[in-house]
Chain A
Amino acid sequence: MTKPAESSPKRRGAGLNRRDFMIGGGAALGGAALLAACGDDDGGGTTATTTTAAPTTTADTGPGSTTLGSNYSGEKNREALAAAVAATGVETMINTIDHNTYQENFNTYIQQPDDVVSWFAGYRMRAFAGKGVLGDISDVWSGLNGMSAGFRSASSGLDGKQYFVPFYFYPWAVHYRKSLFADMGYSIPATWDEFKALCETMQGDGITPLSAANDGRWPQMGMFDMLNLRVNGYDYHVSLMGGNESWESAEVKNIFSAWSEILPYYQPDANGRTWEDGAGALREKQTGMYLIGTFLASQYEQDVIDDIDFFLFPEVNPEHGQDAIEAPIDGFMMAVSPENETAAKALLGGMGSAPAIDAYIAVDPSVVAANSNADTSGYNALQQRSAEVVGSAKYIAQFLDRDTDPDFAANVAGVGIADFLGAPGNIDAILADIEAKKQTYTFE
């Protein structure tokens, strides 16, 4: 796809060269149109695959050896994962693939996978379970301790069997600077009215109440999900994400009318702002609050992190209270026909237990263990709060793009939400468009 014409001026006299060029141009064009078709075939072939053998602790008596496909490609993550695998005592070859490449090629990869593969909970897991490429690990679950009911349902396929072992998670909540709230005398809002009143007060004090970003069209999916969970509840969220509800229903319209009530408190022009820029505004105390994942802390220095806290999104509909939280979970699954099922299940059981995640967090302390038996003594304040709010949540939602068809999330719902932020008055037309497009998806 380079420019074939770049050398052309040097040999401009010859007609023959120009003919070659025309053909070359055609090749470039055809190639551009078909880039995708070619790209699908190479799968993981172009990616740098590194193989790390974890230290063996059980040489002959154990269940044998297995393989683990890993997307923990950052240096720290890779090291942490190797430590976690070592803690399980199962002899494992870890194949590490670049995080984004792994995700984008997963469709191809899962057709010839390693025995155990890293992935995400929710629809993203259910879709593959439904297509029969994942192994049932319900028996592993029966041996797991310390997993809440919320994690269990997030790990179950539509058939009620478990296909996923949660490893860690990061909740979405409303973040704020403790020093700002203390200086201005703000208190944590528990209800929708208190929340709006707080926004009003902040605006009066010259502070923009809410950091608002939507570059890449995913950050505001978090607000949509939170409002849906608070207004309509978790069951409706699952049903809507499963394609079983109309986007023109009164329930969905209620989400957007509640949203319209707080739009005046948003930073202007959310669509063009990256989530990092939203984080910058919160750091500078130009904004008061920010609904985002706890990965927010990765943007700050230690003294700012110490000043950050979060609260659960306030209650909107008393029927649902604050019973649901959004907390994307990362974990592991088993291929449908692993080479060594015993070892694969031993590894999955080990990864779901406290020692593995303890070993992981000892190296990479930015996440929160899914297993409630994990050692929390080394947690910083934010990790402790995360564990607390998720442990007490009745329902754990994933995220719009993890709970539904990722294509529908990115190309239809995400675009609709961005359109709403650009022109809130058009919401009826936007929802009609989403509904029409939704009909072309099967949500299998």
Chain B
Amino acid sequence: MEATAASSVKPHRGARRRRSSTLTGRDRIWLWFMVGVPAFLHIALVWVPAGLTVALSFSEWDNLAPLSDISATGFRNYWIIFTIFEADLFGALFNNLMLVVWLTVCSAIGMLFAYLLDKNIRGTAVYQSIYYFPVVLSLAVVGFIWKSTMFSRDRGLLNEIWPGGPVDFVGDGTKLFSFDIPFLDPALGLSKNFAALLVAMAWRHIGYIMVMYLAGLKAVDPALREAAQIDGCNEWQSFRRVVFPSLRPINVIVVVITVIEALRAYDIIAALNEPRGTDVMGTLVTKSLLGEGGGRVGFGSAYGVVLLLLCLGFIIWYVTNHYRESEL
């Protein structure tokens, strides 16, 4: 930050002798102001509520009684979600994990699409528009479109053409595959309706990632590719050894986006009325906290803290491992 600010300041006498003096008093104030205001907002709007959520997760409150009636319950909320609501909790965590895996696959497909479209084939603009179209829709709208026009058992397009009669894409919570986990009663697995949801999410995610890579590919110096070709690289080698490494900044962003999208997934499932078998952490939190049934603040906060820890864990791991390494 300092370097950027300093270089933007007009050089004046003495600048070369004492570099630190290029920051006049007014610059410093501006600098503090520009760093301080966002930092203050960030702490006040993100970390203070986060801290309050953690505190509430150790308490019991019906969201109605005065604040003085909030009673501390220790780890009771956590004990309940890990022993009594464990099928909901681990089912939701498993679905979030499935999302991480699936959206990673979709990101790879998005990159492939971008690579192909970047070759200036005929009608590139048309393909780009088609793939990008779903991205301009909010996930809630995407959910609604798929629910009413594609998945609906009685009227859905997919059910008209599906071999072997109508399928209940929205309501069928039976598992496509599952793993038996010791001391967890219902086996963890991917339910049919969540698999259907994954398809709807892919429809949007692929276009999103594609556009990011298209932008990235435009910035790759064509001379690099030419050089690779002259050196006798085939298509795969030139992609693997030359293009892909130069896309590193985009890769960093795409990985983060993919994981964040997977962990925070909520809207499309809510738009489908949260069919059984499709819970993710986001829906568990809101079910207990929001709405008229929102009388279990401590309980919903405990779900929220589990999600927060997952997110923090990922971010800390990612920042320390990848980000610092790329800076050096």
The interface of chain A, by Cβ under 8 A from chain B, is 1, 3, 5, 8-10, 12-13, 15-16, 18-19, 21-23, 25-40, 103-104, 106-108, 110-111, 124, 128, 131, 133, 214-217, 268-274, 277, 280-281, 405-411, 415, 418-419, 422-423, 429, 433, 436-437, 439-440
Contacts and interface: CB of A to CB of B under 8 A. Distances in A.
A16 B253 contact: no
A422 B252 contact: no
B151 to A, nearest CB: 8
Interface residues of B, number: 78
Interface in B245-288: 249-250, 252-253, 256-257, 260, 263-264, 266, 273, 275-276, 282, 285-288
A396 to B, nearest CB: 21
Most buried by A among B85, B151, B155, B292: B292
A33 B63 CA distance: 18
A32 B262 CA distance: 12
A106 B172 CA distance: 33
A34 B53 contact: yes
Contacts of A29: 260, 263-264, 308, 311-312, 315
B47 A30 contact: yes
A118 to B, nearest CB: 14
A38 B300 CA distance: 13
Contacts of B153: 269, 272-273, 277
Which secondary structure characterizes the binding site on chain B?
Answer: helix
Given A9-B216, A21-B253, A104-B290, A37 B311 contact: no
Interface in B295-317: 295-297, 300-301, 304-305, 307-308, 311-312, 315
Nearest to A3: B257
B292 A418 contact: no
A407 B295 contact: yes
Contacts of B319: 22
B276 A30 contact: no
B95 to A, nearest CB: 15
Nearest to B272: A215
Nearest to B315: A26
A292 B53 CA distance: 40
A29 B173 CA distance: 28
B169 interface: yes
A271 B64 contact: no
B324 to A, nearest CB: 10
B323 A22 contact: yes
A248 to B, nearest CB: 15
B123 interface: no
Contacts of B282: 32
A271 B173 contact: yes
Given A27-B42, A277-B152, A422-B173, 14 more contacts: A27-B46, A32-B263, A34-B304, A35-B285, A38-B49, A103-B291, A110-B64, A268-B168, A271-B172, A272-B275, A407-B288, A409-B293, A411-B293, A419-B173
B134 interface: no
A436 B62 CA distance: 20
Given A25-B315, A37-B289, A107-B295, A436 B256 contact: no
B296 A12 contact: no
Given A25-B315, A34-B50, A271-B172, A111 B293 contact: no
A37 B301 contact: yes
Nearest to B314: A29
B89 interface: no
Contacts of B170: 215, 271-272
21 contacts: A1-B264, A12-B219, A21-B256, A31-B45, A32-B282, A33-B285, A37-B52, A38-B49, A39-B290, A40-B63, A131-B64, A131-B65, A214-B171, A269-B168, A272-B168, A272-B275, A277-B154, A280-B154, A408-B293, A429-B185, A440-B80
B77 to A, nearest CB: 9
B256 A216 contact: no
Nearest to A444: B62
Contacts of B80: 440
Interface of B: 1, 4, 42, 45-47, 49-50, 52-53, 56, 62-65, 80, 84-85, 87, 151-155, 166, 168-174, 185, 193, 212, 215-216, 219, 249-250, 252-253, 256-257, 260, 263-264, 266, 273, 275-276, 282, 285-297, 300-301, 304-305, 307-308, 311-312, 315, 319, 323, 326-327
B137 to A, nearest CB: 13
A30 B308 contact: yes
B171 A18 contact: no
Nearest to B256: A25
B215 A271 contact: no
A8 B50 contact: no
B82 to A, nearest CB: 12
A16 B172 contact: no
Contacts of B288: 407, 411
The 8 closest A-B pairs by CB, nearest first: A272-B171, A271-B171, A36-B289, A407-B293, A269-B168, A9-B215, A272-B170, A406-B293
A436 B79 CA distance: 13
B101 to A, nearest CB: 19
B315 A22 contact: yes
A39 B212 CA distance: 32
Contacts of B304: 33-34, 36-37
A39 B286 CA distance: 10
Given A272-B169, A273-B153, A277-B155, A407 B323 contact: no
Most buried by B among A33, A34, A273, A436: A33
Nearest to A429: B185
Given A13-B249, A16-B1, A131-B65, A104 B172 contact: no
Contact of B174 (A268, A270, A422): A422
A23 B42 contact: yes
Nearest to A1: B264
Contact of A16 (B4, B52, B151): B4
Contacts of A36: 285-286, 289-290, 294, 300, 304
Nearest to A32: B264
Contacts of B286: 35-36
A415 B279 CA distance: 11
